[in-house]
Structure 1
């Protein structure tokens, strides 16, 4: 009888260990690859629609194994905070412009430097080069993985309450910026006084007279109803906004290799979706803002280009610019 109970006991232990092993194996097979992406603009903005395309493509091609949650209008957190969280290894991502990434690794400033590129095709030439790929690989040491750098959202101009028809009119104007060093330097060399603040605070800042203007592109201006509190847009086109879809390097490395390839491919597609929509909407929004009473001024860009030339020396970017120009001349 004792032997019988002993055998039953041993069988129970074996079954228990088998069950635990099975559960452990099942947990390994069902790892959580959830990614949460937060963006600044609303859910009608081209960059959000671009990440929607990314989400749909990734989830479909991985049969839902990689799940992407989207948050607009800074609902998840601000872009700088999300970049910090990603660097710490959290499963988050965001759309970041080159200026914010440049605050971490200076080379990326060049993608948002004043009058550096004639058009987006030159940006493509750079991002396809070995020089740029080296920056991306180095950036992983910061805990950040750049999935794609092809969210082209439009030219940046000065949208103001006071009329700007020449560089002299900028002097003394308080201009909202993202707070990134390259943007602040650019506005300063133009003659303005940069004021770094969250985008959500720009509208009340203009309404209350705390700032005189913002440097922004048509999509951001229109979709935030800035046309209600500004009267003029000077088409300085001081740089063409190109942004990146960035995620945690730790999150990316945890993905199976085949999923990594899918994520990279869908990020590139998402950027193209956003860019095509942004190009169309930028022109439409300009016409609609004119109907609201906003006056657009063509300005002498060479004048602004000359004024902002010291930015490269101020941020010790002369050598970087020369390296990029070599790539563009090839």
Structure 2
């Protein structure tokens, strides 16, 4: 009897041990399956790979693949290889592409409040701008974009805009009076130039060089990168470093893709994007300085361009003249008083 009991006990032990091993193997198999699951993130942008945006996108690719230990395969497509900025927002909704970094103007019909960055002389300097973008005002804007079916991640720099003219130096607001300024399609920019007695003219960017060269327009506003790469400085007599407005990009993600990621990979995306944003901003600043120096070399060597730097008093005169348009955009369907005053009051 004792022998029979002992045999039964041994058999039972083997049975339970076997069950335990099977359960353990199943758990390990499930863990391996989860770990091996890979997500593909296609990042589409419209500029070349050697620009600040292009280099930051490549940095993001390497950093996220490193942080996720290969669980997210990032594939960057520069130079509109997949989509133009005009088409990419629809593609994001369909999850045909997972990430993009369109210019603010591409969100105009979706979130018109991003026109905040068009308001002239709203930001004291680049540090103030970044505090606004990374603070409460920036988060409100990103939330508005996210509410429209995207996931807004971060603001990337193009640069501050400068004034140029072929007619006369733009030092005080009254110097703009009567001059024909090329503008993008923007109610804010229209109001800005009307405020100083100028004549805003909407014109496609591709026509600006010939427009300036032939005198169809007298003046323009552009970041240094546009001025240098499109050679606008060669068809203008005066360049005023005004830093009066800002052009940038908003990095957005497919909401469907974001919701498919486990929480740990969402954190990896956030960290990689924060690091890429810091890098992109530094690259943009470095390029701005480099290209400005090349424009200055052209001015010094040819004598065909005069570069002017506004004093604090002159900047204040411009700010006083154009800030009167701010209340025109207090309506929440335009920009909103809370966003405008929030930006002004950001310390």
Q: When the two structures are superposed, what TM-score results if normalisation uses the length of structure 1?
A: 0.76
Between 1:43-52 and 1:197-206, the stretch displaced more is: 197-206
SS of the residue corresponding to residue 160 of structure 2 reads: strand
1:68 maps to 2:68: no
1:164 maps to 2:157: no
| Alignment map for 1:19-58 (pairs within 5 Å) | 33-39=40-46, 41-58=47-64
Structure 2: tracts of 5 or more residues without a match: 1-32, 300-304, 331-335
Aligned pair in 2 of structure 1 residues 224, 50: CA closer, same or farther (>3 Å)? farther
8 Å contact from structure 1 (residues 145, 252) kept in 2: yes
1:141 maps to 2:155: no
1:301 maps to 2:308: no
SS of the residue corresponding to residue 54 of structure 1 reads: helix
Aligned pair in 2 of structure 1 residues 283, 128: CA closer, same or farther (>3 Å)? closer
Aligned pair in 2 of structure 1 residues 68, 313: CA closer, same or farther (>3 Å)? same
Tell me what 1:23 maps to.
none
Structure 1: tracts of 5 or more residues without a match: 1-25
Q: Tell me by how many angstroms 1:217 deviates.
A: 1.2
| Alignment map for 1:172-251 (pairs within 5 Å) | 172-251=178-257
8 Å contact from structure 2 (residues 195, 325) kept in 1: yes
8 Å contact from structure 2 (residues 95, 257) kept in 1: yes
Aligned pair in 2 of structure 1 residues 53, 175: CA closer, same or farther (>3 Å)? farther
8 Å contact from structure 1 (residues 96, 244) kept in 2: yes
Q: Tell me by how many angstroms 1:104 deviates.
A: 2.9
Superposed CA RMSD:
3.2
Tell me what 1:83 maps to.
89
Q: Tell me by how many angstroms 1:222 deviates.
A: 1.4
Q: Tell me by how many angstroms 1:304 deviates.
A: 1.8
Q: Tell me by how many angstroms 1:238 deviates.
A: 0.9
Aligned pair in 2 of structure 1 residues 122, 89: CA closer, same or farther (>3 Å)? same
Between 1:216-225 and 1:88-97, the stretch displaced more is: 88-97
CA distance in 2, matches of 1:192, 1:34: 46
Tell me what 1:259 maps to.
265
Tell me what 2:279 maps to.
273
Q: Tell me by how many angstroms 1:184 deviates.
A: 3.6
Aligned pair in 2 of structure 1 residues 34, 152: CA closer, same or farther (>3 Å)? closer
Superposed CA deviations along residues 93-113 of structure 1, whole A, max 9, x for unmatched, are 433444554653244333442
SS of the residue corresponding to residue 67 of structure 1 reads: strand
